[in-house]
Structure 1
Amino acid sequence: MFKSIFVCVFVFLCVSGDTDPRPKIIIDNDAGGDDAMAVFIALLYEQHLSGPKIVALTTGAGNTDEDNVCRNNQWLLKLAGREDIPIYRGARKSLVNTFVKSKYYYGVDGMGDSGEKIVDLVAPQNKSAVTALIEYSKLYEGELIIVTIGTLTNVATAMIVDPDFLGRLKQLHIGAGHIHSEIHSGAEFNARTDAEAYHVVVQNANPDKVTIFPFSQVKDYLKYTKEWRTDVLGGMKTNIMHYQNKFEKVSMSKENVWEKLDPAVVALTLRPDLVEEYRYAKNDIILCGEERGMNTNQFVAKEDANVRVAYALRHEEYQQFLLDVLKHDANSAVNNRTV
């Protein structure tokens, strides 16, 4: 009897293809120097601190065009020694072709315009990002966390193509938008760049599945001096940080303080205890007129909400988290699986 049970369990594990009990993460990004740090954090946390398993990266235009974004993802995985992780190419424009042109905050190539020639990059997969997102949601049903740190075009399209997509996820974590105030009065880039996609996602969201990480809250709670970024965090003698400093060279020349959404979103996904307070909200986005791309947000009881919002964040603990993770460097690649 025990032998039969063992055989059944063995067969099940072979069919499912993954015996790793950790949550699985896909990072949907528009790399971007800020995305670079986010991806590095996720990979280093997995390798050195037994973090969730990064199963794929998906791309979309945003900080730069999608061709550059794809190449940047290839470059990041090469630097991290993780070319086993598959890349799936995604949106080149917004859902209804109202794409907001990038101001190239991180340089025209998205990575500081260093001009460095990168060779022997592993090719992206043939499947599209949308197809991959849907298939991974089936492969890792109830285990998969998708973290978006660019536009929501790929995720919105997946939700349109497959209405059951969101229900199969463990969580969808969205780095986009603002809780608007006199201080945060404009539209946030990720939300505004494809406002229709943002609208599709939140209109189909529920607070048990979808958490918003607004840039406004990062600005309010996770703001650090430029000197700390350059001298302390940037002063760590690792190959990863050497390149990260290059990737942020253009953006750092424009900044008086350091406040980055994308690494914060990934960090808060990996370490939920870095969030001091969540709130529930009716959240959406304005699609027409001069306020297009601005979020609407009303805090309500959970039963009336469509999203959960990471509202208050732990400043000192996040700062220490960055130091603890980014002091590590890349290891050799580990095995992964494509779909």
Structure 2
Amino acid sequence: MKKVILFADTGIDDAMALIYALRNPDIDLLAVVSGYGNVEREKTYRNVEYLLDLAGRSDIPVISGATRPLNGEDPVFFPDIHGEEGLGPIQPPIPEERYANRSNFSKLFRIIKEDDPNEITIVNVGRCTSLAIAWYLNPEVMADVKQTYVMGGAFLVPGNATAVAEANFYGDAIAANYVCQHVPDLTVIPLNATREALLTPEDVDLIDARTDSPLLDIVEPILDFYYEVYQELEPGIEGTPQHDLAALVATLEIPRMFTYEKREVRVQHEESYANGLSIANFRPGSTDCSGDNCVRIAVDLNRALFANHVIEVLTNQRRRRNHRQRRQKK
């Protein structure tokens, strides 16, 4: 079972990643670090607690992350994409003010220290700020993390925040560059792969038809909202890209799901037009790198395999199949 700490800025695609983690019997979700990003930190924290409550998993600790990027500037939020509250049309019945003025990185460090060394995987699907701060504050404890997956970047493909930059890297380019340059055993899942991680309206209808919990009940309204947004952004797109969910799926290392290459990665962070641009050497003739600064980059994703896997996990088909197989063995 994969032990995961999820760093998120819980908008719609983050919510789908969290729902997937809660539904997947192969993932042991140890904690969620909730920071600013798609909406304010107080709202992302509230959204995580709301989803955990729907799942009956209020035992999972939620840790307050960063409220703004490392350069100290006010963050830019995306209510037009994720809704004013971060979950599309959903209005969580919990006041966001409850989560103001909190900071508890010590809880994160305690969770890592109390577990077995090299057993925990960190998956960062929001801005890289909280992850960079954690490494700066306590590199000794963070070094016990087995591996780190980051959803971010766009290598030789268009960005989604600017013409060249993906939103997570653009939202705190200083932190993104720090993480790519300093965090060991790092895998980056960029737009190159996540743009293929589509769930179509038919996929969503199938998930909704098999819903068996209040947690799964919200999938259709939030993804319908997301689909309408994407039809405005990219008319004719076949479904909604599940950027953050793809990064969590990647941790399971499912054969033929992703294609990877290894490169050294830098992120432009000097406040230019190209702020947030992810940079790696993909020139003809370049090959996989080696060494401490080498980052594994997902360059492709099998769309059909991804969708089938996600539907199977969310609708508990895999769990039911395993149960049938166990009964047959008896």
TM-score range, shorter chain: 0.7 to 0.9
| Partner AA of 1:314 in structure 2 | N
**TM-score, reference length from structure 2:** 0.82
- In 2 relative to 1, CA 106–274 (structure 1 residues): closer, same or farther, beyond 3 Å? farther
- Deviation digits for residues 134-170 of structure 1 (CA, Å, limit 9, x no counterpart): 3333222210101011011111011111233443111
| Partner AA of 1:75 in structure 2 | Y
Distance 2:9 2:208 in 1: 22
Report the RMSD for the aligned CA atoms in angstroms: 2.6
Work out which of the residue numbers 55, 62, 67 in structure 1 matches 2:42.
Answer: 67
CA displacement at 1:214 relative to structure 2 = 0.5
| 2:311 pairs with 1:323 | yes
Identity of aligned residues (%): 24
The correspondence of residues 170-249 of structure 1 with structure 2, limited to 5 A, is: 170-181=146-157, 185-206=163-184, 209-219=185-195, 221-225=196-200, 227-239=201-213, 240-249=215-224
Distance 1:55 1:41 in 2: 14
Distance 1:325 1:99 in 2: 38
CA displacement at 1:224 relative to structure 2 = 4.7
Distance 1:149 1:183 in 2: 16
The worse-fitting range, judged by mean Cα deviation, of 319-328 and 92-101 is: 92-101
Query: Which residue in 2 is equivalent to 1:90?
Result: 65
CA displacement at 1:116 relative to structure 2 = 5.0
CA displacement at 1:231 relative to structure 2 = 2.8
| 2:7 pairs with 1:28 | yes
- In 2 relative to 1, CA 145–129 (structure 1 residues): closer, same or farther, beyond 3 Å? farther
Gaps of 5+ in 1: 1-21, 332-339
More relative contact order in 1 or in 2 (CA 8 Å, sep 6+)? 1
Kept in 2, the 8 Å contact 1:59–1:129? The answer is no
CA displacement at 1:79 relative to structure 2 = 0.8
Kept in 1, the 8 Å contact 2:205–2:220? The answer is no
Work out which of the residue numbers 265, 288, 291 in structure 2 matches 1:301.
Answer: 288
Work out which of the residue numbers 118, 141, 145 in structure 2 matches 1:142.
Answer: 118
- Deviation digits for residues 2-51 of structure 1 (CA, Å, limit 9, x no counterpart): xxxxxxxxxxxxxxxxxxxx4321111111111111111111112xxxx1
Work out which of the residue numbers 238, 245, 251 in structure 2 matches 1:269.
Answer: 251
The worse-fitting range, judged by mean Cα deviation, of 132-141 and 280-289 is: 132-141
Kept in 1, the 8 Å contact 2:109–2:142? The answer is no
**TM-score, reference length from structure 1:** 0.80
Kept in 1, the 8 Å contact 2:124–2:149? The answer is yes
| 2:68 pairs with 1:81 | no
Gaps of 5+ in 2: 232-238, 320-330
- In 2 relative to 1, CA 182–64 (structure 1 residues): closer, same or farther, beyond 3 Å? closer
Query: Which residue in 2 is equivalent to 1:37?
Result: 16
| Partner AA of 2:125 in structure 1 | I
Distance 1:248 1:231 in 2: 10
